[in-house]
Amino acid sequence: MEDRLGRRGTIAVGALAITAIFMIAVTCLASIIAEYNRYAYAVKTTSEKLLMRGKERLAVEQASNTNIKVRNEGSATSFVVAVFAVNPANNNIKYVKLDAPIPIKILSTKVISLPEAIPESWNVAVLTAYGNIFWEEN
């Protein structure tokens, strides 16, 4: 009788220990998998951005002091986030960040209205959300 009780007790303690270790292993593995998934998502997002960056091509033309005409000649939709201008006479810089990115679909043209004037003698460029800069061709 005592023997049977002792054996049962040993089995119970062993089972408890194995379950506890199994639970610890599962918890650790779950944390690692969750973190790895986040990393894989970051890699995917970065690869997509780099791919889109390579597809961008914009033609920029300064229509007037406050208007810039942008035509998308690339193979992906571009998002213009800012206008960058340089005065060739003294290298002064003007950076105009747009309130919201302006999407320009493939082969379409958009006119960007600037909140402040940029003299037409300045070199003008547009900056896209994928980090490309496209200068006006003189």
Partner 1 sequence: MRRGVSEVLGAIVMAVLVLGMTASYVLLEMERSGRETHSLIDLIRRAEKRQKQLLSLIYYQRSGGSLKVYIYNYGDEASTPQRILTDREVPLSQISMKNMDAGEMCSSIPPKTLVELTLPDPASSNFTLVIITREGGVFSWRIG
Determine the straight-line distance between the first and last CA of the chain, rounded to whole angstroms: 101
Residue 127 CB, nearest approach to partner 1 (Å): 6
Q: Quick one: residue 91, left, alpha or beta (phi over 0 = left, psi -120 to 50 = alpha)? A: left
Radius of gyration of the chain (CA): 30
- When asked if residue 21 is in the footprint of partner 1 (CB under 8 A), the reply is yes
Q: Indicate which single residue of 84, 102, 114, 118 sits in contact with partner 1 (rule: CB under 8 A).
A: 84
**Shorter beta-carbon distance to partner 1: residue 22 or 109:** 22
Whole-angstrom Cα distance, residue 115 to residue 82?
A: 12
Residue 77 CB, nearest approach to partner 1 (Å): 15
Give the range of 13-21, 60-68, 70-78, 102-110 binding partner 1 by CB under 8 A. Answer: 13-21
Dihedral angle of Cα 61, 75, 110, 128, to the nearest 10 degrees: -70
- When asked if residue 35 is in the footprint of partner 1 (CB under 8 A), the reply is yes
Give the range of 67-75, 102-110, 111-119, 123-131 binding partner 1 by CB under 8 A. Answer: 123-131
